[in-house]
Amino acid sequence: MSLALVAAFASATDHGGYAPHSDPNLVKPNFNKEKTLSAMIGVQGLVYCRSGPKRFPLQGAVVRITCLASDGSGYEAAPFSFLSEATDAKGYFFATLSPYEMQENRKIKECKAFLDQSPLETCNVPTDAKQGITGALLASYHYLSDKKMKLFTVGPFVYSSAPTSGSNY
């Protein structure tokens, strides 16, 4: 058994006879990044606070985008997340993921956006309006050719001042 492990390790470190060159003029192409994520991903939306019957834009909220991916062999990889910038005075958020931020050999299978953080102690109870808790699937997008970006829109998401027992809208 241990001999088989030694042989497997030796063949894995052998590089199949193709050792990397040390010539500084050669650039190693990264075909995996081109295949896995060829365009930047952008996610935008709005976050509101609902206090009683009133709803207003929530400045300073953060949205988390979590993605499932597979590795180069097609096996499921560990999920990864990235955060939006804090929402502006109108409750608008924007988050991006570039091909260069992806781990090598990762191919995105799906992504969902979730409420992550509210800046207000008086309005910090997430609701599932537009799947703010369960996750809004990034399904359709607009392609911004000038930015080479797939732009997804989710929400609007809503925080509440108190837990609700009915409609989340």
* Model confidence pLDDT, tens digit, residues 81-132: 999 999 999 999 999 998 877 766 778 889 999 999 999 999 999 999 999 9
Q: What is the pLDDT of residues 51-88, one digit of tens each?
A: 999 999 999 999 999 999 888 788 888 899 999 999 99
Q: What is the mean pLDDT of residues 151-161?
A: 96
Q: What is the pLDDT of residue 99?
A: 80
Contact by Cβ (8 Å): 32, 70: no
Residue 134 clears pLDDT 80, i.e. is over it: yes
Q: What is the pLDDT of residue 164?
A: 59
> pTM for the whole thing?
0.73
The C-alpha angle with vertex 18 and arms to 13 and 21, in degrees rounded to 5, equals 105
Phi, psi at 127, each rounded to 5°: -115, 165
Q: What is the mean pLDDT of residues 142-163?
A: 93
Q: What is the dihedral of CA 145, 147, 153, 156, to 10 degrees?
A: -140
Q: How far is the C-alpha of 115 from the C-alpha of 61, rounded, in Å?
A: 8
pLDDT over 70, % of the chain: 73
Q: Parallel, antiparallel, or unpaired for β 40-51 and 92-97?
A: antiparallel
Give which of 165, 43, 166, 53 is closest to 116, Cα–Cα: 43
Q: What is the mean pLDDT of residues 1-19?
A: 39
